[in-house]
Amino acid sequence: GEDVEQSLFLSVREGDSSVINCTYTDSSSTYLYWYKQEPGAGLQLLTYIFSNMDMKQDQRLTVLLNKKDKHLSLRIADTQTGDSAIYFCAEKATDKLIFGTGTRLQVFP
């Protein structure tokens, strides 16, 4: 079945790195995504990774994919207060996305 799980909360100090983890169940997913939701807004694509890759880096963001364990992570380097948001992991299942529960990241000074 399709299921994407994340931890609900993460709290980090400004300037530290944040690591948000996700596990998924559909091994046939071709793409995996990280979306960001800021307060009062819709979700916005942050980054994605193709399933034949194990790492993708984009400025302060690093995505790691472990297909064997069906584990996806998002690392945010030098976390800023503007990074405070809910982060959703998602996998592509045919024509639709299956979203995780979301991880609320709180950044404190």
Partner 1 sequence: DAGVIQSPRHEVTEMGQEVTLRCKPISGHNSLFWYRQTMMRGLELLIYFNNNVPIDDSGMPEDRFSAKMPNASFSTLKIQPSEPRDSAVYFCASSLDGGVSYNEQFFGPGTRLTVL
Residue ranges binding partner 1 (CB under 8 A): 30-31, 33, 40-45, 48, 50, 88, 92, 95-102
Least distance (Å) from partner 1 to the CB of residue 45? Answer: 5
- Distances from the Cα of 9 to the Cα of 21, 27, 74, 88, angstroms: 11, 26, 14, 12
Give whichever of 40 and 109 is closer to partner 1, judged by the CB atom.
40
Give whichever of 85 and 102 is closer to partner 1, judged by the CB atom.
102
> DSSP label at 51?
T
Least distance (Å) from partner 1 to the CB of residue 99? Answer: 5
Dihedral angle of Cα 5, 32, 57, 18, to the nearest 10 degrees: -10
